[in-house]
């Protein structure tokens, strides 16, 4: 079982690791390691039965040196102040590595959406949107979907904001449905950038994607779409999992058929063509060419990392490895390509959506995908250049070196406001 590492402490350690290779003073580094501000709210919402329930909600605005704060809103029982601080920090360096002009933000509500009706979720979401209203805006802070949220919730937030402000402002939030100002290609974007990172990684390492074996932990939006697209490159997906368990077949699964089964039954378990049902932990230690952690933070700790047998790890989730796991895998020469690049497709296409909203001119899905591929490929090349020229210990440190340098430049050019 993975240890419960504090995600905010993990982020700070990753920044310390990168700073060792940069000319950054301790005081400035401290600024880069902490959020500008954190909103914490108690939402009192009427339930369908007339009772009042109180929900703890958060929004962390970490750093805006490179542009408006940007980041998702998640609904999960484990949402906490430290989690949103960490996630908002990762967003800062994620937007920097792909060089889109945003800072980092993140928010969430501590709840399990499965416990509430659609009407209750709408009231909860609109209550949170009312609290967020003074802090968000097209040039201030632009939320987006995250774990257990999607187009529906983003549409509710947009409508609440526009109603209260008596305006039309589709760019106040991204990840909307296309008819409400959303972008083509947004739903697939995180999985697509995971695939592109895996493709570039295999090419850089001299490995063949054709016939490569793949395991995907977490079969929600990001994990399933990454699986589809990696399978389309000729790889063989042998195992996938969700919160209830995993499906495994050494000869390969049909990634899309497994997703259809999950949509029908609520889980990948019980998939009829699975050779065996295994645990999530078993999946993480399978002997595969590529492992894609696509669930939540801290999936692999230092102990479990000793048992990981994948040659390459591409992180579709945020923070799936603890710092101790990173140390172990670096020592074992396992190539880990970090979340701030691999899952940056979501924020990149969110940027495209924001641009389209500002211009009131919308792109084709082909253009969105082409632009996303260009940005991910360029960012991967920047990461590799830093890794090789600075003799860095692993690819995560290389990504942070590139990202922190960009944030530092923006901060230095802007100066310090008294």
CA 309 to chain CA mean position, Å? 24
SS3 333: coil
User: Is 176 marked active-site?
Assistant: no
Question: Rounded CA gap, 128 and 113, in Å?
Answer: 14
Helical ranges in 35-139 per DSSP H: 81-97, 118-132
Q: Choose the catalytic residue: 94, 106, 158, 259.
A: 106
Encode 202-233: b = buried (16+ Cβ within 10 Å), e = exposed: bebeeeebeebbbbbbbbbbbbbbbbbbbbee
Side-chain-side CA neighbours of residue 298 (13 Å): 15
Angle at 84 between CA 80 and CA 90, to 5 degrees: 145
Helical ranges in 290-364 per DSSP H: 302-305, 323-331, 339-342, 345-359
SS3 83: helix
Q: Could you list the active site residues?
A: 106
């Amino acid at each position: 079982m993975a240890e419960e590492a504090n995600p905010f402490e993990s982020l700070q350690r990753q920044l310390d690791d990168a700073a060792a290779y940069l000319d950054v003073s301790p005081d400035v580094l401290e600024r880069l390691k902490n959020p500008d501000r954190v909103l914490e709210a108690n939402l009192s919402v009427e339930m369908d039965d007339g009772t009042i329930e109180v929900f703890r909600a958060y929004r962390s605005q970490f750093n805006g040196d490179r542009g408006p704060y940007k980041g998702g809103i998640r609904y999960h029982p484990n949402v906490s102040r430290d989690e949103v601080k960490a996630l908002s920090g990762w967003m800062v360096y994620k937007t920097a590595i792909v060089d889109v002009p945003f800072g980092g933000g993140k928010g969430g509500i501590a709840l399990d959406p499965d416990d509430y009706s659609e009407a209750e979720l709408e009231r909860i979401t609109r209550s949170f949107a009312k609290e967020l209203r003074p802090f968000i805006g097209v040039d201030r802070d632009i939320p987006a979907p995250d774990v257990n949220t999607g187009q529906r919730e983003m549409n509710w937030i947009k409508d609440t904001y526009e109603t209260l402000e008596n305006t039309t402002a589709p760019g106040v939030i991204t990840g909307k449905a296309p008819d409400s100002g959303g972008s083509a290609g947004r739903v697939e974007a995180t999985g697509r950038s995971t695939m592109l990172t895996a493709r570039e990684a295999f090419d850089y390492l001299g490995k063949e994607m054709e016939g490569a074996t793949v395991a995907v932990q977490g079969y929600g939006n990001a994990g399933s779409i990454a699986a589809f697209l990696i399978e389309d490159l000729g790889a063989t997906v042998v195992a996938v999992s969700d919160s209830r368990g995993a499906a495994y077949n050494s000869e390969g699964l049909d990634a899309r058929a497994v997703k259809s089964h999950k949509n029908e039954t609520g889980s990948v378990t019980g998939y009829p063509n699975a050779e065996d049902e295994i645990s999530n932990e078993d999946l993480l230690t399978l002997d595969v060419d590529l492992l894609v952690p696509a669930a939540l933070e801290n999936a692999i700790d230092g102990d479990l990392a000793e048992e990981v047998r994948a040659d390459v790890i591409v992180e579709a989730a945020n923070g799936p490895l603890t710092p101790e796991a990173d140390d172990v895998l670096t020592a074992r020469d396992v190539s880990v390509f970090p979340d701030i690049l691999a899952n940056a497709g979501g924020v990149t296409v969110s940027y495209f959506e924001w641009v389209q909203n500002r211009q009131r001119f919308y792109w084709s899905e082909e253009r969105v995908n082409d632009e996303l591929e260009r940005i991910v490929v360029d960012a991967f090349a920047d990461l590799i250049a830093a890794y090789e020229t600075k003799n860095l210990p692993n690819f995560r440190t290389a990504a942070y070196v590139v990202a922190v340098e960009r944030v530092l430049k923006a901060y230095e050019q802007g100066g310090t406001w008294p």
